[in-house]
């Protein structure tokens, strides 16, 4: 083979392809190999340094949540016919996988109130970026208007993709003060100003506040009719109006809460639903229902806009696979919950979150970041260093939430703690959080005062 392509060695192939300036030109600094049993002990020691949500009282959220995953999810996802297949290129031998995709799409459409869903993307932030690219293909404009209430990871991903698209991202601030915490409607309308390709907000937003989705959609449509994109939390759609009923054109989001575990950050999946007029611009793939030559019900890949399926210049997605196994977990979970169950879950979260929010806001040195309605997550402002308070809580076996400034990098987020409540957090556990956080804030304030005094 080397002779056929005209080179003397494999090394010569690399020499011709990789510029000298970027070559390492030395051996990799790797330790000597170890026997298998020693590798096992080393990896076990590394794993023991982690703390899981099973080992501490966890109030973390900010996009990934400690929901209960029923045993039926693992049982079905671990079946070999679901666990091992890749893309169902041959429908005649992939009916189970294709039906899962079809049923998943149906569930997402019912949740979002939109008529079309794809068969998933990688995760929530890339779904936001994919919606922005779809908007560019639809109207050709190059301004993306995004609420500061979007998840910081989504904003970062949006900016990264927009740079490649040759687009700009205009960030709209949130209203300030105790009655603030939602997208500023005047700044929203001004930023759109007839030039926006897409107008993107989160429901609820990153700080837990429920936005007026209908008002934001109507204000966006009053301009040059951009695509209105909502990044939504699927769990709370059991009690909130679906985005399709609020004037939203595209609903995207992070699917991890739907039957997917935390698993050290992944994998998860992103969902993507839209109005029917955008059907041929939707990224990824769509499974459809049909009949075979004998008239029997069957399933096929109806649309495939990935670049390995069609010409690159016509593709709307370059992702090489979709998280179909994770989407399977979602449809199993939603089927397990049922239509009534997801409503009852939302109501339970609403009640427990209200209890936790009121109890924590009554602590000395703790106040609400905003007073907007919330469902299962809310922001607090601490009169102490959040990172130090979290360390004190961790020593008591409690993770009180997310240090927002560490995640967003925004100066105005300094001192903000984001607390998430799931159905796994009982009233007794919330009471323990109240006691531990109260003691940690008080101790940190005393320590700071003493240090200043010295």
Q: Quick one: the chain helix, strand, coil %, rounded to 5?
A: 45, 15, 35
Which pLDDT score, from 0 to 100, does residue 450 have?
Answer: 77
How is residue 442 annotated by DSSP?
A: H
Characterize the bridge pairing of strands 416-420 and 377-382.
antiparallel
Domains and CATH numbers, the chain: 57-67+340-449 (3.90.1150.10), 71-334 (3.40.640.10)
What is the rounded distance in angstroms from the CA atom of residue 359 to the CA atom of residue 119? 41
Q: How far apart are CA 188 and CA 228, in angstroms?
A: 12
Tell me if residue 191 falls in helix, strand or coil.
Answer: helix
Among 208, 234, 189, 183, residue whose Cα is nearest residue 345? 234
Q: How far is CA 395 from CA 47, 390, 422, 439, in A?
A: 19, 9, 22, 12
Tens digits of residue pLDDT in 302-326: 887 665 666 666 676 766 566 889 9
In the prediction, which pLDDT does 451 show? 76
Which stretches of 338-393 are assigned E, i.e. beta strand? Answer: 366-368, 377-382
The two three-digit tokens of residue 12, written as one number: 């010569």
Distance between CA atoms of 216 and 6, rounded to whole angstroms? 62
Whole-number pLDDT of residue 85 = 73
| Helix H or strand E segment including 430 | helix 427-453
The list of the chain residues with pLDDT below 50 reads none
**Bridge partners of residue 297, in order along the sequence:** 291
Burial class (CB in 10 A: 0-12, 13-18, 19+), 304: middle
Question: Among 442, 452, 454, 406, which residue's Cα sits nearest to residue 153?
Answer: 406
The gap from C-alpha 33 to its chain's centroid, in whole angstroms, comes to 38
From residue 74, alpha-carbon distances to 181, 329, 448 in Å are 38, 8, 47
* Per-residue confidence (pLDDT) for residue 452, from 0 to 100: 67
Q: What's the full length of the chain, in residues?
A: 454
The pLDDT of residue 320 is 56
Which sign does the torsion angle of CA 417, 401, 238, 277 carry?
A: positive
List C-alpha distances in Å: 376 to 61, 207, 348, 370, 398: 9, 11, 9, 14, 18
Q: What is the pLDDT of residue 392?
A: 97
For the stretch 214-247, pLDDT in tens is 999 999 998 678 999 999 999 999 999 999 999 9
Strands 143-147 and 168-172: parallel
Instruction: Report the Cα–Cα distance between both ends of the chain, in Å, rounded.
Output: 76
């Amino acid at each position: 083979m080397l002779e056929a392509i005209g080179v003397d060695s494999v090394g010569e192939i690399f020499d011709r392809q990789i510029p000298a300036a970027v070559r390492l030109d030395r051996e990799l600094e790797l330790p000597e190999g170890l026997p298998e049993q020693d590798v096992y002990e080393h990896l076990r020691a590394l794993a023991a340094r982690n703390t899981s949500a099973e080992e501490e009282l966890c109030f973390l959220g900010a996009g990934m949540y400690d929901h209960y995953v029923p045993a039926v999810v693992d049982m079905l996802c671990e079946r070999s016919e679901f666990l091992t297949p890749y893309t169902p290129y041959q429908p005649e031998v992939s009916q189970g996988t294709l039906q899962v995709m079809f049923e998943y799409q149906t569930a997402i459409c019912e949740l979002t109130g939109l008529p079309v869903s794809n068969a998933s993307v990688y995760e929530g932030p890339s779904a936001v970026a994919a919606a922005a690219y779809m908007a560019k293909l639809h109207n050709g404009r190059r301004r993306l208007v995004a609420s500061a209430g979007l998840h910081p990871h989504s904003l970062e991903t949006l900016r990264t993709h927009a740079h490649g698209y040759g687009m700009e991202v205009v960030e709209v601030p949130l209203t300030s003060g105790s009655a603030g915490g939602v997208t500023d409607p005047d700044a929203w309308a001004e930023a759109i100003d007839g030039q926006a390709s897409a107008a993107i907000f989160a429901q609820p937003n990153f700080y837990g506040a429920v936005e007026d989705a209908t008002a934001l959609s109507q204000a966006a449509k009053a301009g040059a009719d951009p695509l209105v994109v909502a990044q939504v939390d699927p769990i709370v759609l059991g009690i909130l109006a679906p985005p399709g009923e609020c004037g939203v054109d595209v609903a995207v989001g992070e699917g991890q809460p739907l039957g997917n575990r935390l698993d050290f950050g992944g994998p998860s999946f992103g969902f993507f639903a839209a109005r029917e007029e955008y059907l041929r611009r939707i990224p990824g793939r769509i499974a459809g229902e049909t009949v075979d030559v004998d008239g029997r019900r069957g399933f096929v890949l109806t649309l495939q806009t990935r670049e390995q399926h069609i010409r690159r210049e016509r593709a709307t997605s370059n992702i090489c696979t979709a998280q179909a196994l994770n989407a399977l977990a979602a449809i199993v979970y939603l089927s397990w919950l049922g239509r009534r169950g997801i409503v009852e879950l939302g109501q339970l979260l609403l009640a427990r979150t209200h209890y936790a929010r009121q109890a924590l806001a009554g602590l000395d040195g703790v106040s609400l970041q905003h007073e907007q309605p919330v469902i299962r997550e809310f922001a607090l402002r601490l009169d102490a260093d959040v990172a130090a308070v979290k360390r004190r809580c961790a020593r008591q076996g409690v993770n009180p939430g997310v240090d927002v400034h560490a995640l967003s990098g925004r100066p105005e987020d300094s001192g903000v703690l984001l607390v998430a409540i799931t159905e796994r957090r009982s009233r007794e556990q919330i009471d323990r959080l109240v006691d531990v956080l109260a003691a940690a804030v008080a101790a940190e304030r005393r320590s700071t005062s003493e240090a200043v005094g010295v």
